[in-house]
Amino acid sequence: MERLSHMFAQLKAAGDLAFIPGIVPGDPSFELDTEIVKTMVQAGADAIELSCSFSDPVADGPTLQAAHSRTLGRGTTKAETYAWIARARAVTDVPLLVLEYANCIFQFGPERFFKVLADNGADSAIVVDVPLEEAAPFRRAAEAAHIGTTFLIAPSTSDARLHSIAAAAREWLYVVALSGITGARDAVQQPVAELLARARGVTALPLVVGFGISRPDHIRRVAQAGAHGAISCSAVVDLITAGQNQPADMLRDLASYVGAMKTATHRQLLA
């Protein structure tokens, strides 16, 4: 967990935002994914989101659904996916944020899940579909394993519920930029600015915006609204999917994309 707190502290001191690209481990292969992680970190990624495959990813749009299906179609198991995190940790020291669905954690076993994450070098877990009222087993297991946990807040989250979620989260809050599923969008919707303002009123935790973030101007917009970071997964997976048969070109394109997105987080460009 210390890696994540340290990252946010360093970025705050510099006046910059975190840029967090995401991938689906196992797509297109664990071997190439390790190179992808290394490339994105070298290009400026502050952390990496690892979206673990599931057969019914209700929060995900077509891009990530397809990546999940490809990975599962190759017979990839949860144990293999979680074990691969150690390979990602071996090539970088940036925080690794694991996004997983509640049913998968229950099947694997909450205590076992969070211990495996800790043993393999993960820093924080995003249990994307568990409501706060049912989160106690996850929170206990995560705390025992010294893994951070966060929850999602959305434009539809009431003020009272926002207070409760902020009190339960550790290290950061995942701010959903839109009502709907993941996927690259042309614009960041106005309600996210209102949500960030409400969240800033109830918590000092870093606020990281995801869902629909795909362009440098999106980062500038959420920065102006008070975000502390931005996550882009679908746009990254689109690049990986398009270039998977030409890995060298794909890695070059990823480096260019991550570099451009990270540049948009710099203080001197946000004024």
Active site residues: 49, 60
State the DSSP H helix or E strand holding residue 209, giving kind and residue range, or none if neither: strand 207-210
Determine the Cα angle at 162 with ends 156 and 166, to 5°: 140
- Helical axes 247-263 vs 234-243, angle rounded to 10°: 160
In angstroms, rounded to a whole number, what is the distance separating the alpha carbons of residues 181 and 184? 10
Report the phi/psi class of residue 15: left, alpha or beta, with left for phi > 0 and alpha for psi in -120 to 50. Answer: left
- Amino acid of residue 31: E
At residue 253, φ and ψ (nearest 5 deg) are -65, -40
What is the SS3 assignment for 4? Answer: helix
